Every structure is written in C-alpha cells, then in structure tokens.
Amino acid sequence: MRIPFVLAASLAITAPVLAQTTPTQAASSAVTANALIAPSPLPLQYPPFDKIRDEDIGPALEQGMAEQLKEVQAIAGNPQPATFDNTIVALERSGRTLARANSLLGNLLGADANPARLKLQGDFAARMAAHRDAVALNPQLFARVESLWQRRTSLGLGAQEQRLIERHYNSLVRAGAKLDDAGKARMKAINAEMATLGARFNQNVLAEVNDSAVVVDKVEDLAGLSDEQIATAATAAKTRGLEGKYVIALLNTTGQPVLSELENRALRERIYKTSIARGSRGNEFDNTALVSRVVTLRAERARLLGFATHADFVLSDETARNQQAVNGMLRQLAPAAVAAARREGDDLQAMIDREQAAKHQPSFKLAAWDWSFYSEKVRAAKYGFDESQLKPYLEMKNVLENGVFYAAGQLYGVTFKERKDLPVYHKDVLVYDVFNADGSQLAIFIADMYARPSKRGGAWMNAYVDQSGLFNQKPVVANHLNIPKPADGKPTLLTWDEVNTMFHEFGHALHGMFSNVKYPSMAGTRVPRDFVEYPSQVNEMWSTWPSVLANYAKHYKTGQPMPRELLDKVLAARQFNQGFATTEYLSAAMLDQRWHQLPLEQVPAAKGVMDFEAKVLREEGFDYAAVPPRYRTPYFSHIMGGYAAGYYAYIWSEVLDANTVEWFKANGGLKRDLGDMFRARLLSQGGSQDALTLFRSVVGHEPEIEPLLQRRGLVIEKPKSAGTAK
C-alpha cells in the first residue's frame, strides 16, 4: 500500500497549524524586499525559490496574519446585511499573503527542512493556532455566516454557492463558534498546545530517522546489495565522518527497502529492530508522552464540541459518517487479510526450511526482518522473476516521462515539457509545463523524487498555487517521493512499489491540476479525507496497463523493451504478497481508530502507550509478529497530522477505486472519451459537489466491495444461516 501524504491547502480560516497575529513586526522596510508579500511574477505565480530567504518567511507570516485579521474584522463589522458576496466571497478573498507564506513554509518543511525552517515551525505553531481561532471564534463573523446558512435555499444562489455557505458554516461550528466564552477559551488553549506538540512530534520523527541510520563496519555484511547501493552507503558514511564504513539510512516506515536484498540475517534484524524502536526508546526523540497528550487533547476538544470521541468528531464530516461504518469495514477485511498473510508466511517458512536443509543447517522461524527477503525468493520461484530482474527496466525519469506522463497523455490528451529556467529549492527537483490538448497551459508540475535527510518520509502531493476561477489562478502542484539517490553517475532504478507510488502520487497531482472551480476553498483535493485518495488510487491502474507498461519498461542501458514473458509475469503476480500488504496497512488503520475512539478518561499515560498498541493489535486479530503495522504509534506521522482518525481513508477510497477500475475496463480502458468523462465529471469538480455523488456520476451505481476483494485476492466467508451444516 502506498502511503501518500496530501498537503492540500485549506480555507484561510482553517489553515494548517503552523503559525498568529501580532502585526507589530511587519515593518515596511523589511516588506519591500520580501518575495512572499506579493504574488510571484513568475509564470502561474510559481514560487521564486531563488528570491525567498528563510528570514523572509516570518515577516510574511506576520504581515499575512495582520492583513487577514483586518479583512475579517471588516467583514464581521460590515453594517450592511450579510450577503453571499460581502461575507462568503469576502472570506474567500481574505488571507492571501498568509496563505502564500504558510503554504511555502509547510511545503518546505516537508521537502527540505533546515534549522531555520524548523525554528520557524516551532516559533509560529501556537501563534498560527491562535490566529485561526481569532478568525473562527469571532462572534460577529459567525452571526453573519449563520444568517446566510439559515437562508441559503432562499437566496437565489446556485448549488455550488449554497454548498460553499454550508462549508463555511460547518467549518466555523466545528472550530467552536457555538461554544460559550469559557468553552472558547479552553478551545484556544487546546489548539495552541496541540500545535506546539504536533510540530515537536514531526521534528522528533525527522531527527530520529537521521539519528537512527545503521552503521555497518564491513562491506561483506552488505552482500546482496548492488555495487551502486554499496557506493551510496559508503558516501553516506563519508558525509558523517565515518570513512571506510557504510551507513544505511532509514525511511519513516516500519519496513525498510534494503531488507529485501540483504543476505546477512543479523544485519536485517538490527535494521528492523532499530526501525521499530524509533520514538519509544526513552531518548530525546521519544514521542510516547506527546502521543498521550495529543490524544487526550483531541478527546477533550471533541467533548467540548458535543462528540463522545475524536473519531466521532472527524468521521461526522467524512463520507463514512460514523465509527460503525469504519470499524465494520476494517473488521470485515482484517480476518481475511491476516489469514492470507499467514498462508504467505507458510510459503516463506517452507522456503527457509528448504534452504537451511540444503545447507545442512538448522532452520529458524520466520521473523518480520525475513519477510521481504524471502518473499522475493518465493516470488522468483512462483512467477519466475524478482525485483532485481525488473529494476534495470525501471529507470526513474523514463518511468515518469514515458509511463506516468504517457498514460495521462493517452487518457486526457495532456502533454508535458521540461523547463530548466525556473528556480528550484533543491538541485534534484524537476519542473514541467503541462498543456491541455488544445495547447493551452494547464499547470506547472514539480517532481521531487529523491530521499534526503532534510525530507520527511513517505510520499505526498502538495499545491504551491491552487486553481481558482475567483483569482484566475492556474495550479502549481508537486509530487514528492523518497527514492534512495544512487551514487553520482549511476542510474536511478526503481522497485515495483516505487513505480506504483509514482503513478499514485500523480493521480493526486491530476486531481489538483484538473480542478476547474471558482472558489479556492473548493479547489483540487479539498474533498473529504476518505475521498481524497480515490482518484490517486485509480491512477495506479495504468502502471500495469499493457500499452503503458510496454512504453516505459525499457532497459536503461540498451533501450530494449522488457521481454514479453517478463511483462506477463509481472501482470500475473499482481496479487502476490497482498495478504502482507493488506495486513500491515489494516493494523495501522485500526491502531488509528482505536486511539481516537478512546473516551477522554481512558487515554493511557505515556508509559502505557506501547502497551495499548500491543493490546489493540492482539484484540483486533493482528497478533502475527511476522507482519507488524506499517507505522507504529510513536512514528505514525499521518495520525499526528491530517489523518487523525482518517488513516482508514486509503482502503475506504480503494473500494471506490476498484469499482472505477472495473468501469474503465468494461468500457475499453485507456480511451480519451473515458478520460475526458472522468476529468469533467469528477477530477475537475474538487469539493464543489458531494463526493459520493461525483463517484456515482461516473460509475453509475453505489460502491460495491467485491471488486476490492477480487483485486487483493481476499476471500471473506459469509456467516452461515441457522441450520446450515458446518
């Protein structure tokens, strides 16, 4: 399962927690040279990265907050009766400087953090939370929005405008606008503390990923890695002053890519145990106390707002609507997934037993650090290929341009042209103009593919500029992956999972680029969290579509296409290891739900965090040590951020995705008319319509779970009726 992280911009009044308002520092002398104060003069307002200094960001945030407070006060204090234009549209227009600076800082913190940016995050986290509250808890503003909400069906407005009123109203209510003064005061205190704790959690995760890199003394211990991987490990060691040694960097997932290749079992075990210990070692980066406090504060905030738990609060605004729907789906899938994983584990154990017997050595029990290594061996035995055979045909830029871009061109008629004249925040970043079929510019796309110490783990899409008819803006969007960078002069050869991730993230990018709405708060990926992954997961289907795969799967040295028989083997193996993939994801999703379904009084203290995690995994049937959760609680950045009580969204969205894939296949697959329909009816609509209405407008029926089960090779036993023989 790919784990993208979508840093979609939000309404100014519900902006991501990063930075509040003390306008005194916005001195005009500093403003004149600050590239963040005014819209960028570059094409499509592409950020002038070469002109933006770290010291510009704080003053821009300061001025932006001051400007927005003034704008909001003017809206709230307007003596004229509230109208859609003087209240809702005025809110949509507010906070542009703040949004620009806040987005820039948030994006760079994910992609290229440095001490100055991390300090800004810490300095402004609580202040931005206070600024957001100053807007959302303004009683005069809420009164105007509420009056429009009460009259929304009688104002002669279109459906999109009525929906926009509803979204603003619900946003303010969920922020606490209906609380009494004491409740508002407590809400402000909670938000300020959570903002500070969230920033510290993320900084701890990034710091410990780098601090926990595994040092290897002898090159022979790296048997199984390619010469290029060994050279990269040697270079990483040299940069740390460890000449003659080798450093294996970690990613922010439980499993680590090198575990599939390292022959040294003791080293595999050391890497795995180092990975799972992150955030709970009792060191300066320990996150267990932060987790306990954040979950406590979330539960308290939910209760303030009239909800029993934080999960109830979150899910009430998603397509799932309630805990019962989410728990029901996860618990329906879990037994089948774990059973499939155990069957896969039996195959791996049999492989281990055969190998050890052939060596006349005692066998050993399959452990989590063995899974990836032996699954590649089983794949080779079952399907006649392994990752090492695929990688020479999966060179990164070729996959991007002749795979990802090619599929989008065939389906939607869009074209791409690399440009090198625009500044970038890191030398490895690629930039492309994106054009519609008629030659008009659609967007600018930024591709940031390599892992580095300054970059957070995972993969995600974000927007630097959102599409908006109100502001006549076209989008500037970026994809971020964490592909290990090879030594200088060596090709970047991808794993199959990295290829799939690239297609997935570009699905998010298409959602942002194809957005065609008027109001910025409805643009692109501003949809329910459990819907946002749906278009990106649909885009994964083209990675194995025969004509697309044949176009990009070419040997990096010779240009020869991947042999047909190898192509066929890749396609035949699509259900391979799905028990593992589904189980590691579902266990993390259930951890998220169980944490956020706790009533306030039941949240464990710091010392009980890991015990609670173990208890959940045991009670929910994930007590299979060979398949740990994809993320353990102390480094589960998704649920300390925007996916709190929402990590189930990937599998929820995949139900919609699997239905849509069947629709594409039934109607001819990679065809322009289908792409144009999917773009017009769904991708272009952003959050302007109900999410499931958009789904039904394409597929023509309600979501069905069977296509997902078939895709993953899962069999769910139906309960036997009374009197039926066993």
Catalytic residues: 505
Assess contact for 630 and 585: CB atoms under 8 A: yes
Assess contact for 596 and 326: CB atoms under 8 A: no
Q: Which two tokens stand for residue 313?
A: 């609060």
Assess contact for 496 and 383: CB atoms under 8 A: no
Write the DSSP string, 29-88. Answer: HHHTT-TTTS--SSGGG---TTT--HHHHHHHHHHHHHHHHHHHHHHHT-SSPP-IIIII
DSSP strands (E only) in 222-359:
246-248
Assess contact for 551 and 403: CB atoms under 8 A: yes
C-alpha 72/C-alpha 207 separation (Å) is 38
Q: Under 8 Å CB-to-CB from 538, ≥6 apart: which residues?
A: 507, 657, 660, 661, 664, 678
The 10 Å Cβ neighbour count of residue 144 is 23
Comparing C-alpha atoms, which of 49, 64, 129, 128 is closest to residue 96? Answer: 64
Write the DSSP string, 534-594. Answer: HHHHHHGGGGS-HHHHHHH-B-TTT-PBPPHHHHHHHHHTTTTTHHHHHHHHHHHHHHHHH
In the DSSP assignment, the letter for residue 485 is: P
* Pairing of the two strands 4-7 and 459-465: parallel
Assess contact for 390 and 368: CB atoms under 8 A: no
Q: Under 8 Å CB-to-CB from 77, ≥6 apart: which residues?
A: 140
Assess contact for 478 and 446: CB atoms under 8 A: yes
C-alpha 158/C-alpha 150 separation (Å) is 15
If residue 504 lies in a helix (H) or strand (E), which one and from where to where? helix 496-513
Token look-up 């009766």 returns 81
Comparing C-alpha atoms, which of 662, 689, 595, 583 is closest to residue 630? Answer: 583
**What phi, psi does 129 have (nearest 5°)?**
-60, -40
β-sheet bridge partners, residue 30: none
C-alpha 681/C-alpha 686 separation (Å) is 10
**What phi, psi does 225 have (nearest 5°)?**
-80, 155
Classify 148 as helix, strand or coil.
Answer: helix
If residue 313 lies in a helix (H) or strand (E), which one and from where to where? helix 310-315
Burial (CB count <10 Å: 0-12, 13-18, 19+), residue 621: middle
